[in-house]
Amino acid sequence: MSWLVTGGAGYIGAHVVRALVDDGESVVVYDDLSTGSAERIPEGVPLVVGSVLDRSALDAAIRDNAVTGVVHIAAKKQVGESVEQPLHYYRENVTGLQTLLEAMASAGVGRLVFSSSAAVYGMPDVDLVTEDTPCLPMSPYGETKLVGEWLIAAAARAHGIRAASLRYFNVAGAAAPELSDSGVFNLIPMVFERLEAGEAPRVFGDDYATPDGTCVRDYIHVADIASAHLAAARRLADFPEGTALTLNIGRGQGSSVREMVDRILKVTGRQDVAPQVTERRPGDPARVVASADRARELLGWSARHDLDDMIESAWQGWRRRHG
Ligand code: WQD
């Protein structure tokens, strides 16, 4: 197989590229470098700089590299920004995917692994979210991921593509400091940033209907996300043409914001600091925790890394970036 990894210069993409390469797969990265960085790509892996909206550049990348499978990770991923710029998000995430599927169908590329998100579920009112839990996305970002899954299912059936949409839960950590996330949009880096600024980390609300009153999430190490892609890339061959799998990629374990912040303070050696409870952040569901059974059954995959692996590796990456 020769895999085209869109978004392969980004935080998650670079981890996926590394996992595929380490496992002996042939990989080409396709990335517009709008948020990604070429430095994350391992030596010897070709980089095509291009947009997923550029059909002729996609055609050329597929043809020139004899691509037989695609891992589509390139996307806009900030929930708040998607509310301000929905058209931009639909264009990049939905029209980009449609363009890619057209290029795949026309070239006869038969396998696809797609980055979806737990954001497709919105505010699930269940203890463990299964893939059959109703999808009611709360943001244009989540909508674009759900529409993307529909587009893939329809195209897979019509064009004999084997596809897997992986619904990531809360991704954290890094397999190596240089691969870490450069954004400060999620809980762990946001706590690091507050500590660095000499400010108390914030807990957005402690009056939720959860055991300690703070929101519960399913945090998963990015190296486990990467191994899920590898498992999907490998296992797709066992399914009939036209299969479109939808799989939760989480640990199946909930952690509260308070528990996370306490652990982060411990790892960073800042137990002198007291977190500050503030207002709820609008739109936050109380609890989002995966049932990871289907991925285990169909891919033989499960997560291996724990919370301390995530926080410690994220901290090493942060220190590398911020001195
Ligand atoms: C986690 C919890 C916050 C910062 C988002 C997207 C989702 C996915 C991952 C996709 C929440 C709380 C945070 C802080 C806090 N993105 N928090 N203090 O919102 O679960 O998921 O990122 O690609 O689609 O919605 O993740 O890391 O922002 O927040 O109390 O300083 O931490 O309220 O409960 P979230 P998050």
Summarised one tens digit per residue, pLDDT across range 161-177 is 999 999 999 999 999 99
Per-residue confidence (pLDDT) for residue 157, from 0 to 100: 98
- Counting ligand 1 atoms within 8 A of each CB, the residue from 92, 143, 187, 248 with the most, and so the one to mutate, is 187
Provide mean pLDDT across the span 227-232: 98
Is-catalytic flag, 168?
no
Distance from the alpha carbon of residue 305 to the mean position of ligand 1, in angstroms: 20
Residue 164 alpha carbon to ligand 1 centre in Å: 25
Residue among 1, 35, 25 at smallest CA distance from 9: 35
CA angle 110, 18, 106 (to 5 degrees): 20
Residue of 11, 121, 141, 219 marked catalytic: 141
DSSP 44: T
Ligand 1 atom closest to 257 (CA): 32
Does residue 129 come out as left (phi exceeding 0), alpha (psi in the -120 to 50 range) or beta? Answer: beta
For residue 323, what pLDDT is reported? 77
With the most atoms of ligand 1 within 8 angstroms of its CB, the residue from 168, 204, 264, 277 to mutate is 204
Predicted local distance difference test score (pLDDT) of residue 302: 98
User: Stretch 229-245: mean pLDDT, rounded?
Assistant: 98
Percentage of the chain exceeding pLDDT 90: 100
Which atom of ligand 1 approaches the CA of 119 most closely?
Answer: 24
Q: What is the mean pLDDT of residues 146-170?
A: 98
Ligand 1 centroid to Cα of residue 291, in Å, is 19
Instruction: Give ligand 1 pocket residues (Cβ under 6 A).
Output: 77, 79, 117, 119, 170, 186-187, 190, 202-204, 215, 217, 257, 281, 284
pLDDT digits (tens, 9 = 90+) for 180-214: 999 999 999 999 999 999 999 999 999 999 999 99
Predicted pLDDT at 158: 98
The ipTM assigned to this model is 0.98
187 alpha carbon – ligand 1 mean position (Å) = 6
For ligand 1, atom 36, name the residue with the nearest CA: 186
Task: State yes or no: pLDDT of 56 exceeds 90.
Answer: yes
Mean pLDDT estimate for the chain: 98
Residues of the chain by 3-state class (helix, strand, coil), percent to 5:
45, 20, 40
Q: How many CB atoms lie within 10 A of CB 138?
A: 18
- pLDDT of the residue at 49: 98
Q: Which atom of ligand 1 is nearest to the CA of 285?
A: 34
Beta-bridge partners for 213: none
Q: Are strands 26-31 and 47-49 parallel, antiparallel or unpaired?
A: parallel
The rounded distance, in Å, linking the Cα atoms of 138 and 303 is 27
Decide if 290 contacts 169 (C-beta within 8 A): yes
Per-residue confidence band for 36, with pLDDT thresholds at 50, 70 and 90: very high
Taking the CA atoms of 165, 171, 176 and 180 in sequence, report the sign of the dihedral they define. positive
Spell out the residues 6+ positions from residue 38 whose beta carbon is closer than 8 angstroms to its own: 9, 47
Beta strands in the chain (DSSP E): 2-6, 26-31, 47-49, 69-72, 111-117, 162-168, 170-172, 202-204, 216-217, 219-221, 244-249, 255-256, 276-278, 287-288
- For residue 121, what pLDDT band results from cuts at 50, 70 and 90? very high
Whether the CB-CB separation of 253 and 303 falls below 8 Å is answered with no
Residues 130 and 244: their CA atoms lie apart, in Å, by 16
What is the CA(171)–ligand 1 centre distance, in A? 10
pTM value surpassing 0.95: yes
> In Å, what is the CA distance from 93 to each residue of 53, 110, 118, 172?
9, 20, 16, 22
